[in-house]
Structure 1
Amino acid sequence: MALLTKTPYLLGIDVGTTSAKLIVIDAQGQIIASAAPTYEVQNPRPLWSESKPQDWWQAVVMGIKLIEAKFGIDLKNIRGIGLAGQMHGLVALGREGEVVRPAILWNDSRAIAQCAGITELMGAQKLLEYTGNPSLPGFTAPKLAWMREREPEAYAKTAHVLLPKDYIRYLLSDVLATDVTDASGTGVFDVAKRAWSKTMQEAYGLPGHVWPEAFESPTACAKVSAEAAKITGLAEGTPIAAGAGDQAAAAIGCGIIQEGLASLSLGTSGVIFAHSNHFRVEPEGRLHAFCHAVPGCWQLMGVVLSAAGSYQWFRSVVVGGHESYAALDQAANNIPAGSEGLFFLPYLSGERAPHNDPLARGAFIGLSLRHTLGHMARSVLEGVSYALKDSVELVEALGIKLQNIMITGGGTNSALWRQILADTLVRTLHTTSTADGGSFGAALLGGVAAQIYTDVYDACNQTLNPQAAASAGINFKAYADLYPIYRSLYPALRPTFETLGHLHLNQ
């Protein structure tokens, strides 16, 4: 029997790399229902990462149906919808809204040559001036430029470019739109001015009309269409917020709405996300400078491309999937801090902060016959933690003292990993009642769009109650001593990474 109530519900949808995470909350932030249907990522060639947008839509529809059937939710009580999703993905649509080719994802590195070309043309400092960021292969515009050069027929059919979450909005509403946080990661958006950059579009030789209008994240920019209402069971006319990229949405879901606060996300990628009251740029472009989902504010973001993804890879490939994460954590917990001289570089998909190097690769360094599976597991957790510390140091070098760090994402379910992070960062880490802030933050943005809350600050104040999750312990000194050694490894291996990378590119 459906839950018949006049209490307004809010739906948050997070289009992740491998699953669509949906939650329903009430106005007080209580999670009423959730679902997370999965889909596949394809890697047809080295450096490539693709997904079918149609699979995302099928997963979202399935998730809505599961919420209705399993939890007895009356979908007509959902008063607002917010969208979040993996950033940077290129969704190319034809004139009739058809998908032209599989989406090229955020962790795809095929557009290295296009990034080098635009950097040579514009100059690295001009890129920072116009977009707040260097040109990176994961960004959207370089991938569209790659399409123009390598897939001219598909490029000629492309009439619209969307980001992953925006494709879901399009099918829910027939509206082509994005938000300022997601637009910030395309490479053709003026982050300081919060508007598309005609200069960068012309520099890439890309048409301006393919990019959708960019709204502030809480704006009600669309409504559920009659057709989508029939397919999903949602009420026709339900407002849909512009939404946010996954990290900005997760930051809202953690209450990162004032300077001095930061979030640490441990999903497939790992992210340090710091709120900034004004536009700041890291001088070497080692942090992303994006618009925040809080109107009129910005974010500084350091990205580790393979964070929990490194642990997933380790369990799947090295361990063969035979051990649970809990068993691996237990084995790692029996190993002393520093893994007895074993280090892990988590650059399995290349790396962003602080290296901006798509050719960087993962490595175990210091392996010996004495090292066990537990040593290797712990070194993976430590290597990702060191990589996140790189970003914390870059943020604070820009004059933002990080007083509180909120943690979110599936990796933070590990008590051992939380403790290693607290020891490495020498911080007390906090959490909220939801481990996945992206869909929760999206739901809050949907609540602002539906006028359930007056603004983002009101939404966070009404729903969030942070709790301490881990504090620095006795191992902080060991990690402080080992961190400089970790920092020395990438420079030593960079020439080898470059040689190996170009071998793949020439295949």
Structure 2
Amino acid sequence: MQYTLGLDIGTSAVKALLMDQNGEIVAENSEGYPLTTPQSGWAEQNPEDWWQASQKVIKDLIAENEIDSSKIEALSFSGQMHSSVFLDENMEVIRPAILWSDTRTSAECEEIYERVGGIKELANLVSNPALEGFTAPKILWLRNNEPENFEKLEKVLLPKDYIRYKLSGELGMDLSDAAGTLLCDVKAEDWSADVMEKLDLKPSIMPPVLKSVDIVGPVTAEAAEKTGLATSTKIVAGGADNACGSVGSGIIKSGRVMASLGSSGVVVAQTDQAEADPEGRIHLFNHAVPGSYYMMGVVLSAGMSFKWLKEEMFNDELDFETLNKEAAAVPAGSEGLTFLPYLYGERTPHADADARGVFFGISGKHKRGHFIRSVMEGVSFALRDSLELIKARGVEVNEIRLIGGGAKSELWQQITADIFGETISLLNIEQGPAFGAAIIAGVGAGVFSDFESIVEELVDVVKTVDPIAENVEKYNKNYEIYQNLYGDLKERFKDLK
């Protein structure tokens, strides 16, 4: 029996998933690590914590499940995007990694626009806008604020690339993660010499660009001793967490869209065309599937909005079943109550860190159930913003697959179908990015012949939810109100700072 191993370097933990040659999940394990916030808006982690956790999770998974490590044919990775690991000439970590959720780089984003020539020119060069979470602003922040550390800078890696380096001794960054640095020409599939020059950065600080399925080498003897892996195991490049999650949800062919109701919300559409939004309102990244791309919109507070309502407004006294039951008793549209889910700012389509959450239209007739349902509706409206932008770019939409914790609610399933005006599909399996990474390992090493054959075998649609025509009509009217509210309040949000 052959196995493949997927390793997901997440924000709170590293997760390992072992898959056999038939695509069956054999074992899973995880190990957590801390996140520090030295100042308001900062988010950092120690890359050594990722490495120690990775060693432990691999070693424990092998030992606890009595796996012959020589049968693990390949290992690949998923990881949090954008988070920056700064290495010196000895490939030692210079300072704690600055994470994707860190917002210290607003001034550097403005600097990027000034140097490059505005958002349209940046989108033309690297297919994305300058946002605080991305990698390039973090490099400029290091130069502007810690010049002594910038002087030491030899290489910039992302979290999974650092763990891959520790296991293989080889430097690299796959395209799906490179696309999220603001330094990669998505169409040319290489670092952008134009952007590097305009930002006055040495191209040599970035590692070689890899395809997700590239074999970078075997496990080193030193890493084998620390993890229990065999030196015969092939190390495959891997991909960004959203790319790996898309693989694991079957978003590997044109026409398929994934909408996620996780803590944050994501809408991902696979496309064969590298046509970026000229205004940078929606992301375009290289996919883990070679030669293809995906468009992505992000709602920063999706399930997080529901969690906030449950825990802070209702003192965590109601279970999810009760919350859903009360919301289901309220008619579509929440009788005029509209929620903007901008609790922590917003990414798509506004890219506005100053935006804030709003309940609009409160009246004396509104009960607890109205607020619950309006939060669900507001999050789905925010996801629709991304879906509409994807459609506007000419991307084919034939099937929408709904995943995430919120997708377990039958009410939220129906609300999303009604607000989208589209049939949505539910899947038989929802394993997250480590599952996609294990598939990538198998395709890269030849355990699986290609992405389509193994994904179509493993991932099935088990339920579809059709929109209710009456609700669609109601929600279309409410969506106009929802869209107008941001424009009406945009300047007022700034006054709250």
Q: Same fold (TM over 0.5)?
A: yes
Task: Confirm or deny: 8 A CA contact 1:289 1:299 kept in the other structure.
Answer: yes
Q: Give SS of 1:41's match.
A: coil
Task: Confirm or deny: 8 A CA contact 1:91 1:161 kept in the other structure.
Answer: yes
Matched, 1:30 2:30: no
List aligned pairs for 1:112-261, cutoff 5 A. 112-123=106-117, 124-261=119-256
Q: Give SS of 2:82's match.
A: coil
2:323 counterpart letter in structure 1: L
CA distance in 1, matches of 2:415, 2:36: 32
The match for 2:488 is 492
Q: Give SS of 1:475's match.
A: helix
The 3 A distance-change label for structure 1 pair 240 and 329 is farther
Report the alpha carbon displacement of residue 445 of structure 1 after superposing the two structures with TM.
0.5
Q: What is the aligned counterpart of 1:13 among 1, 7, 12?
A: 7
The 3 A distance-change label for structure 1 pair 150 and 454 is same
Greater mean alpha carbon deviation, residues 264-273 or residues 439-448: 264-273
CA distance in 2, matches of 1:492, 1:69: 59
Report the alpha carbon displacement of residue 404 of structure 1 after superposing the two structures with TM.
0.6
TM-score when scaled to structure 1?
0.91
The 3 A distance-change label for structure 1 pair 109 and 184 is same
Q: Give SS of 1:403's match.
A: strand
CA distance in 2, matches of 1:309, 1:164: 24
Q: Give SS of 1:118's match.
A: helix
The match for 2:402 is 407
The match for 2:89 is 95
Report the alpha carbon displacement of residue 130 of structure 1 after superposing the two structures with TM.
0.9
The 3 A distance-change label for structure 1 pair 453 and 411 is same
1:197-245 CA deviation, whole Å, 9 max, x = no partner?
A: 1111121222211211111111112332222222221222311221111
CA distance in 2, matches of 1:391, 1:79: 39
The 3 A distance-change label for structure 1 pair 413 and 154 is farther
Q: What is the aligned counterpart of 2:263 among 263, 268, 271?
A: 268
Report the alpha carbon displacement of residue 152 of structure 1 after superposing the two structures with TM.
2.0
Q: Give SS of 1:37's match.
A: strand
The 3 A distance-change label for structure 1 pair 251 and 65 is same
Task: Confirm or deny: 8 A CA contact 2:116 2:199 kept in the other structure.
Answer: no
The 3 A distance-change label for structure 1 pair 73 and 347 is farther
The 3 A distance-change label for structure 1 pair 168 and 419 is farther
2:163 counterpart letter in structure 1: I
Any unmatched runs of 5+ in structure 2?
none
Task: Confirm or deny: 8 A CA contact 1:29 1:464 kept in the other structure.
Answer: no
1:102 counterpart letter in structure 2: P
Task: Confirm or deny: 8 A CA contact 1:112 1:358 kept in the other structure.
Answer: no
Give the count of matched residue pairs. Answer: 495
Q: Give SS of 2:375's match.
A: helix
1:167 counterpart letter in structure 2: Y
Task: Confirm or deny: 8 A CA contact 1:408 1:437 kept in the other structure.
Answer: no
Task: Confirm or deny: 8 A CA contact 2:77 2:236 kept in the other structure.
Answer: yes
Greater mean alpha carbon deviation, residues 301-310 or residues 410-419: 410-419
1:363-412 CA deviation, whole Å, 9 max, x = no partner?
A: 33334555444433332222111111001111111222300112333333
CA distance in 1, matches of 2:266, 2:344: 15
Matched, 1:306 2:265: no
Any unmatched runs of 5+ in structure 1?
1-6
Greater mean alpha carbon deviation, residues 437-446 or residues 11-20: 11-20
1:413 counterpart letter in structure 2: K
1:257 counterpart letter in structure 2: I
CA distance in 1, matches of 2:475, 2:353: 27
Matched, 1:60 2:54: yes
1:105 counterpart letter in structure 2: L
CA distance in 2, matches of 1:448, 1:261: 21
The 3 A distance-change label for structure 1 pair 423 and 156 is same
CA distance in 1, matches of 2:455, 2:152: 42
Task: Confirm or deny: 8 A CA contact 1:410 1:436 kept in the other structure.
Answer: no
1:98-135 CA deviation, whole Å, 9 max, x = no partner?
A: 33222222222221111112212322222112101121
